[in-house]
Amino acid sequence: MQTMEIEKKFSSCGDYNILQTLGSGLHAKVKLGEHDGKKVAIKIFKSNHGTAQNIKTLTNEINILKQLNHPNLVNLIEFNSALPYRRKNGQTEPRVCIILELAEGGELFEYVASSGRFSPETSRFYFKQLLSAMSYMASKDICHRDLKLENVLLDDNFNLKVADFGFAKVMETAKIRTILGTPGYMAPEIVAKKDYNGTKADIFSAGVIFFIIHAGSPPFSTASDKDQYFKLILCNKWEQFWTYHLKYKGGNPEFFPQEFRHLMMGMLAPNPDQRFTLEQCMQHPWVNGPVATLEQIQNEFKKRHERVQAEIQASKMKKQAQKNAGNKGPIGVFRSIIGESEQENFDETINQYKLNFENRFMIKGKDQGLPTDIIVYQDPKFVFCYLLKHCEEFNCKVGKIHETKYKVNFAAEQDENLAFSLELLDCEDEMIKLNLNKLSGDYIQFKEITNRLRDALNKNYDGFLQQEVQQD
């Protein structure tokens, strides 16, 4: 009887009951599976994504994972090219599946975003674990090529686990040509489309990761001469680089100790031939300073984890409250989000910018469930007009407006060198995500504008929700 109830309640994949969806990508969904009390992550590939290129990418990932087994990697448990996938309605079909170790602690990114930068002792703990994983991969002649905070996970004991080997490669030759990675973490030789050594590129990416967890913000937006921060590095103006960053960190030079600066200068060296090796990183004085114990890490990160989960839950509840309030009126009506009972008047805005909504569309997006996402439940025409009309609230002015998408380029009022695009994405179920991308200018000022925009929307919508509650 109990077995039948479980079968009705859960879908399954092979011997594993599917408990929930952990994430979704272009080619696959990642599900939480359980069998005999053991939880795993199951990467289930979509049945209609079996193109030659996708199969080639998957084959590469499987071949890499089969060669690896290390405590600081998300290791392969099983691969099956035709594992029975049974839906709750009883329908069963074979699916390509990868079963991996579960990293229950989540992404390192979430901890930095929600609870701030790490102490030097904590940073060293994780730095040593990442270096151990990277050294192991290098010993197998494997490079990762997409190291970033989102691909660095924590297990249930808060130990580090490197994940996502979709871009990884066996280095059969000294140099690689394929341009892969995530812009903010990519080494300058990759950005410049030059041949590169995979391990040296990974070391650069690791340098970006540990700058972020130490400082709470990235060192630059992209490793090219178009980025004002990285241009200082290219010109060997490191003192100016540190001075600029200290302006936003209280001005105390000890925020970036000399040994930490020396380590970053070695890992982020623009010339890969002058970049630190893994051995130099492991032997560096800063790395071998005081390190947190596992017990201290667990005590600290249990609290951080609670905060992360609380913020994610609060974010979900707020989105649901917005959705419920937004659903009270007919779809398509321009309801105000600024605490007014009457409709916002956008006639002047529509005429000023000659807006035509007949041929305007939203592309598909995805809510990651992170507290840093900007999500609204409103008519897209309303949100678009609201942002154009009230852009002075986040100290910006309108640049180019896309003719067919819900997309606009803004420039900062105080600094025209800072420009960014903002696009409304359709996340389904009347959910809209604001996708912001910096086009030029200072990264930290861009983040400040992003926070002002988010605060303006949150403050105004909170006022609207309070009014709705009073009316109820």
What averages of pLDDT result for each successive group of 10 residues across the chain (472 residues)? 49 90 77 92 77 68 93 94 86 90 91 89 97 97 93 95 90 68 89 92 96 92 91 96 88 92 98 97 97 96 86 65 50 34 68 86 73 72 87 89 92 84 82 85 80 73 41 37
pLDDT score, position 310 = 75
Query: Strand 375-376's sheet: what is its strand order?
Result: 375-376, 432-440, 419-426, 407-412, 396-401
What pLDDT is recorded for position 315? 65
* pLDDT of amino acid 240: 95
The predicted structure's pLDDT at residue 18: 93
In this structure, which CATH number among 3.40.50.1480, 1.10.510.10, 3.40.50.720, 2.30.40.10 belongs to the domain 106-292?
Answer: 1.10.510.10
Give per-residue burial for 409-438: e unless 16+ CB within 10 Å, then b: bbbbeeeeebbbbbbbbbbeebbbbbbbeb
What confidence score (pLDDT) does residue 2 get?
46
Q: Where are the domains of the chain?
A: 2-101, 106-292, 322-471
Q: Which of 408, 378, 413 minimizes the C-alpha distance to 393? A: 413
In angstroms, rounded to a whole number, what is the distance separating the alpha carbons of residues 41 and 30? 6
Residue-level pLDDT at 338:
35
Decide if 426 is catalytic.
no
Whole-number Å distance between alpha carbons of 121 and 147: 22
Looking at residue 407, its pLDDT comes to: 94
- State the burial class of residue 250 (Cβ atoms within 10 Å of its Cβ: 0-12, 13-18, 19+): exposed
Phi–psi pair at 47, nearest 5 degrees: -65, -25
pLDDT value of position 70: 97
Put simply, whether the predicted model's pTM sits higher than 0.75 gets the answer: no
CATH fold group of domain 322-471:
TATA-Binding Protein (3.30.310)
CATH number of the domain located at residue range(s) 2-101 in this protein:
3.30.200.20
Residue 374 has a pLDDT of 80
How many helices (H) and strands (E) in the chain?
14, 16
Is the C-alpha dihedral spanning 236, 240, 242, 248 positive or negative?
negative
Binding-site residues sit at 43
Number of Cα atoms under 13 Å in the Cβ half of residue 466: 9
Task: Give residue 204's pLDDT.
Answer: 97
Which residues does the annotation place in the binding site for ATP? Answer: 43
Active-site residue, selected from the candidate residues 15, 36, 141, 146? 146
